[in-house]
Amino acid sequence: MTRPTPIDVTVDGNVSNGNNFVNAQFGQVGGKVFADVDRDGRLTGHEPGLAGATVYVDLNRNGRLDRGEPRMRTGADGLYAFAGLAPGVYHVRVAPQAGQKITIPGGELHRIRIGASSAPQLDRHFGTVAAADITFHVPAQSRVLRLVRSGDRLEILDRFRGVIASYALPEVHSLTLLGGANLRTRLVVDLARGGSFDLPGGITFRAGTGQQDALRLVLGNGFDRVHISGNQARLNDQLAVRWSGVEVLAVESREGNDLLSIQGTPLAQGTVVLQGGLGDDVYRLATRSTSVRIQDDGGIDTLDLAAALSGVQVDLTSSRFQTLDAVGNRLRLDGTIENVLGSRFADYLFGGPGRNILIGGAGADVLLGRGGEDILIGGTVSWDDNGLSFQALAAEWHSSRAYAERVQNLIDGTGSPDRLNGDMFLDRSVLADDGEADWLFGGVGRDWFVPFSGDRIGDRETGERAGG
């Protein structure tokens, strides 16, 4: 075997020399970026390495190369290596290259688990092929189109005529669909029917003018993450979907516990529809001048407004569009939302007839639980970014256990051995005083108040807990 030259790894301009691909070091990951000439997704002896490819460790798992993340450029042999990684799970990716598509690994990343005594993992290769940027003109007679995966092909289906276009997935870098003037077009990007897929250059839907056009994103049955920023959605940290001229944008998830996030102004006019499905879903909104309709009848769901641009007013009993804030947002709730996280401004949060968790956050807030056994928190909380910790806490509070057991489980875990909140507790490690005077009203039901300095409880009754 020919011994490759030492590899330089760069982090924010600092070069660390001597990370030789062959040297056996614990916590070492490496491989080869190569031209997958025969497109079979395997590295064979005749396939050359690619120079100049940027390989990086995606520490925050957002699918992008960010400042502070370890990265390196491959040399003439296409080899890369990272050494000295601490125990943990890492995502290793190669940065997108114009006109190229990844054939291996699936999902375009390697998920690497490093143990305290792990041997070097030097077979984490990346195969690439030349890929095309495809433009598809929507036929005048087509009204409803569905984009699906069928094996190793990407198909465009017409609702009445079946398959009207088909492409080999490894050969597609990006796909742009162009609608016509005065034609109403509805496009469905379906990741459930034939499985998920990714295009390095993403999907762009440019709808025509003069009619109400719609884009629907259909997810699978697992834990899905959708982040919408302006006129782009990122699905599961991979597939990017962009649009223009669309009046209805819908995201449909299925059975998993999903995170659906929106920031900015996705549509110039029209409504964004979020359908959460049967899981315990988190809806995270930080929008401006946007109408959002949430349809969710299953699971224990959370409306997260912590990043809202102004104070919010939410009534969980209203099924009409309600003015959400002072920056032009409207919200309609179809179904049941159980929990609300307020903004950093002054909020009014009103619960529903069942159990709720209402968290005011920073700002002078007014919380009203109404019916059911509610938790009302006047201060701020700290959770993980994907909402899993809060979902665990909410699952325990909404369980069938008695009030006293649930309270104790959430305080220190001593209420019952089969608690649903795991190691997530509602204690001072996650709670903080926001320094504002909040009003907490429980309403009907046995409630749990978590006030801080200056907060006032409006209607505490015998048997109701006050304090974390």
Based on the fold, state whether residues 145 and 223 are members of the same structural domain. yes
Residue 259 counted as domain residue: no
Q: Which of 129, 161, 179 is the last residue of a domain?
A: 129
Based on the fold, state whether residues 241 and 384 are members of the same structural domain. no
How far, in Å, CA of 225 to CA of 91, rounded?
Answer: 16
How far, in Å, CA of 227 to CA of 324, rounded?
Answer: 20
Based on the fold, state whether residues 313 and 353 are members of the same structural domain. yes
Look at residues 64, 66, 121, 130 and name the one whose alpha carbon lies nearest to residue 94: 64
How far, in Å, CA of 156 to CA of 165, rounded?
Answer: 5
Q: Hey, what are 53's tokens?
A: 């490819």
Based on the fold, state whether residues 140 and 224 are members of the same structural domain. yes
Per-residue pLDDT of 111-133, as tens digits, reads 999 998 888 999 999 999 888 89
Residue 281 counted as domain residue: no
Based on the fold, state whether residues 243 and 386 are members of the same structural domain. no
- Residues of the chain short of pLDDT 70, as ranges, are 1-26, 107, 384-388
User: What's the confidence (pLDDT) of residue 216?
Assistant: 98
Based on the fold, state whether residues 402 and 413 are members of the same structural domain. yes
User: What's the confidence (pLDDT) of residue 358?
Assistant: 97
Q: Which of 210, 228, 254 is the last residue of a domain?
A: 254
Based on the fold, state whether residues 304 and 447 are members of the same structural domain. yes
Domain boundaries, position 402 = 290-468
Residue 97's domain is classified under what CATH number? 2.60.40.10
Using left for φ > 0, alpha for ψ between -120 and 50, and beta otherwise, residue 452 falls in: beta
Q: Which of 129, 159, 184 is the last residue of a domain?
A: 129
**369, 441 contact by CB (below 8 A):** yes
Based on the fold, state whether residues 123 and 82 are members of the same structural domain. yes
Residue 243 counted as domain residue: yes
Residue 270 counted as domain residue: no
Based on the fold, state whether residues 461 and 340 are members of the same structural domain. yes
